[in-house]
């Protein structure tokens, strides 16, 4: 079997979004499944809109997701002599021709064709004029006037286009820059691409590209067109319809494995399985199991997956991932061992690292205020005596083991006749500033004796100042 070679070819005219990244993911998985080669190619011939910062962002996004490439990145802007060589081949064999039609005149002729009930396409005026290269000449591909162009799509099945519906495609603009449909074919030929996996919005481009392959005497790759992803309210997910740059997901506290798992399930399935390790995705991935119907973007499902991966991440690694989000809040985050302990009390409660960083705030700084409703109910003159007693007993303890802490509160409930909540909630508020938090004994153990006693004193000062 010929070695599988796939490619991802983004344009650096904007950030990498979910749709484009899913294309990269499917190509990467297919190459990895077959032990093949994954190529990164930057299609930067749009000189006015292409920016180096987007090239950097594309690479950073892919590496964050773990979509490493084996060859490249190649830049179309550096391959212009190659395209010119292939343009000349088509011109020499009569498969392409020069055209000097004025764009404004072309528009008039297309509107006239529409008025006659005809398809508004190039009318072939320069097809047989035998023009030579000039300052205002483009190069057009001579599309067959009859017959059909067809292929068996790995994602969509058999597809047929009537050649009469196609026109003589411009393959080189008047400025000498090749157009997309031509450059991509030359790139795929010269890079040995065996499988072209991309969104179904490229289906209309495929017959044009197949005809160029055939004119150049090159073997066709396998084509597989993926379904689009729909926005929640309908319509294709796009920058205008809810699509976010990939690095925004990173900055919002999503884990890369959650996003990868989510993206692959938007357009592929393996039975009813929902959660996959990367190794499983590589093992199971096949073009035959791509979805036939579009997936709908569902942020709640992505959050569910992210919470799963947060829970599954080893605590030392979770602490390392959490640290930048704490630093963003100007919280001290140098002790990864301490952060791992704190993360162990929050990893089942938080859906994103942003949420976890905010929830971890009390571990890294004393409460600046107390939850108002809780303070009115629990930080009262009646609770002060109990807090004083709890403080005294905690100070006398040699260690804050769960068993010892549990015994302390059991003894107090028996002695005072109060319920556990009446004793515990004032302590919880003193230590965290909130009435809802991870387990109180875990918090006491992680904060340590000195910090716990300090915060109990601050809460008592708060109570006494109210009196």
Name the residues annotated as catalytic. Answer: 239
Distance from C-alpha of 222 to C-alpha of 198, rounded to nearest angstrom: 11
- Residue 230 main-chain phi, psi, to 5 deg: -95, 145
Q: Indicate if the alpha-carbon torsion angle 344, 348, 349, 350 is positive or negative.
A: positive
Separation CA 97–CA 141 (nearest Å): 7
Residues 137, 139, 141: CA angle, nearest 5 degrees:
155
The C-alpha atoms of residue 26 and residue 129 are separated, in whole angstroms, by 45
Rounded to the nearest 5°, which phi and psi values hold at 5? -135, 115
Q: Which tokens hold the place of 462?
A: 């708060």
Give CA separation, 311 vs 228, 436, 461, in Å: 31, 20, 38
321: tokens are: 């991932």
146 vs 166: CA distance, rounded Å: 10
The span from the CA of 241 to the CA of 243, in Å, is 6
The structure tokens 């796939």 sit at 6
CA distance 166 to 148: 10
At residue 224, the 3 state secondary structure works out as: strand
Which of the 8 DSSP states describes residue 217?
Answer: T
User: Contact 302/255 with Cβ under 8 angstroms?
Assistant: no
Q: Residue written as tokens 């068996």?
A: 152
Q: How many CB atoms neighbour CB 217 within 10 A?
A: 9
Helix (H, G, I), strand (E, B), or coil: what is residue 456?
helix
Contact by Cβ (8 Å): 352, 424: no
Give residue 439's Cα distance to chain centre: 34
Q: Report the alpha-carbon distance of residue 207 to residue 144 in Å, rounded.
A: 11
Cβ-Cβ contacts under 8 Å for 450 (sequence gap 6 or more): none
List of residues 6+ apart from 309 with CB closer than 8 A = 255, 257, 258, 261
What does the block give as tokens for 226? 């993926």
């Amino acid at each position: 079997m010929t070695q599988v070679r796939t490619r991802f070819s983004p344009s650096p005219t904007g950030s990498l979004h979910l749709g484009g990244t899913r294309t990269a993911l499917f190509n990467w998985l297919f190459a990895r499944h077959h032990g093949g080669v994954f190529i990164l190619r930057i299609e930067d011939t749009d000189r006015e809109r292409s920016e180096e910062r987007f090239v950097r962002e594309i690479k950073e996004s892919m590496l964050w997701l773990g979509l490493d490439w084996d060859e490249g990145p190649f830049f179309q802007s550096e391959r212009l002599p190659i395209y010119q060589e292939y343009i000349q081949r088509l011109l020499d064999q009569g498969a392409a021709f020069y055209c000097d039609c004025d764009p404004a005149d072309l528009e008039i002729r297309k509107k006239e064709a529409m008025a006659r009930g005809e398809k508004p396409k190039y009318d072939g005026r320069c097809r047989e004029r035998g023009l030579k290269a000039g300052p205002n000449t483009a190069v057009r591909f001579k599309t067959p006037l009859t017959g059909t162009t067809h292929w068996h799509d790995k994602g969509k099945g058999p597809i047929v286009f009537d050649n009469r519906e196609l026109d003589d495609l411009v393959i080189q603009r008047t400025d000498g820059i090749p157009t997309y449909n031509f450059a991509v074919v030359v790139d795929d030929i010269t890079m040995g691409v065996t499988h072209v996996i991309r969104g179904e919005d490229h289906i209309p481009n495929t017959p044009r590209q197949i005809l160029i392959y055939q004119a150049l005497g090159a073997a066709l790759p396998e084509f597989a067109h993926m379904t689009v992803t729909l926005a929640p309210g309908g319509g294709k997910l796009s920058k205008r319809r809810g699509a976010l740059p990939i690095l925004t997901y990173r900055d919002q506290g999503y884990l890369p494995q959650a996003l990868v798992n989510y993206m692959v399930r938007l357009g592929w399935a393996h039975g009813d399985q929902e959660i996959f390790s990367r190794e499983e995705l590589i093992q199971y991935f096949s073009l035959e199991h791509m979805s036939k119907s579009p997936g709908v973007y569902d942020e709640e499902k992505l959050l569910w997956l992210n919470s799963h991966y947060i829970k599954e991440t080893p605590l030392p690694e979770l602490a390392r991932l959490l640290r930048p989000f704490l630093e963003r809040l100007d919280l001290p985050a140098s002790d990864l061992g301490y952060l791992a302990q704190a993360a162990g009390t929050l990893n089942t409660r938080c859906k994103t690292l942003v949420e976890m960083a905010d929830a971890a705030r009390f571990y890294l700084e004393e409460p600046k205020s107390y939850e108002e409703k809780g303070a009115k109910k629990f930080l009262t003159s009646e609770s002060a005596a109990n807090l004083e007693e709890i403080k005294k007993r905690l100070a006398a303890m040699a260690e804050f083991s769960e068993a010892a802490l549990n015994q302390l509160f059991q003894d107090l409930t028996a002695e005072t006749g109060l319920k556990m909540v009446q004793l515990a909630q004032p302590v919880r508020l003193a230590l965290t500033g909130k009435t809802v938090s991870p387990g109180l004994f875990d918090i006491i153990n992680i904060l340590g004796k000195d910090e716990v006693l300090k915060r109990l004193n601050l809460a008592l000062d708060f109570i006494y100042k109210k009196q």
